[in-house]
Amino acid sequence: QVQLVESGGGLVQAGGSLRLSCAASGRTFSSYNMGWFRQAPGKEREFVAAINWSGGNTYYADSVKGRFTISRDNAKNTMYLQMNSLKPEDTAVYYCAGRRVIESIVVQTTVSAYNYWGQGTQVTVSS
């Protein structure tokens, strides 16, 4: 089992950057595929980016491709989301999620595929 804690959210102007972190407890972080999701007020939680257990495979939603970069440091039990060229429509609560796997290159892009979730961190982009 893993516990996830996000940090790094905040208020930024359009065009600015933020880096989110997701710290995982336990010694098995490298056994988890990880993902970032976001949820804006009144909307469903949506997929942002995913990374497999080794960091060798990543996948992005079209809306963030070229602007966001997902990465992980298994030695530090931490996943990151570097967000550049932020837009007001990126405003949401951002959640990290984990799914235990056995060395899978396949990443998951749906909410239901993940078993573990953080509490979320607010990102607000002003115009």
Q: Does residue 102 surpass a pLDDT of 90?
A: no
Higher pLDDT, 26 or 44: 44
Q: Which pLDDT value is given to residue 4?
A: 97
Residues in the chain: 127
d(CA 92, CA 38): 6
As a whole number of angstroms, the distance between CA 4 and CA 22 comes to 6
User: What is the share, in percent, of the chain residues with pLDDT greater than 90?
Assistant: 92
The pLDDT tens digits of the residues spanning 63-100 come to: 999 999 999 999 999 999 999 999 999 999 999 999 99
Assigned token pair, 101: 């796997």
Place of tokens 């995982």: 24
What is the per-residue DSSP string for 13-25? ETT--EEEEEEE-
Task: With a cut of 80, say whether residue 17 has pLDDT above it.
Answer: yes
Alpha carbon distance 34, 97 (integer Å): 6
Give the model's pLDDT for residue 104: 81
According to DSSP, residue 5 is labeled E
Is 59 or 104 the better-scoring residue by pLDDT? 59
**Confidence bin at 40 (pLDDT 50/70/90):** very high
* Residue 75: per-residue pLDDT: 95
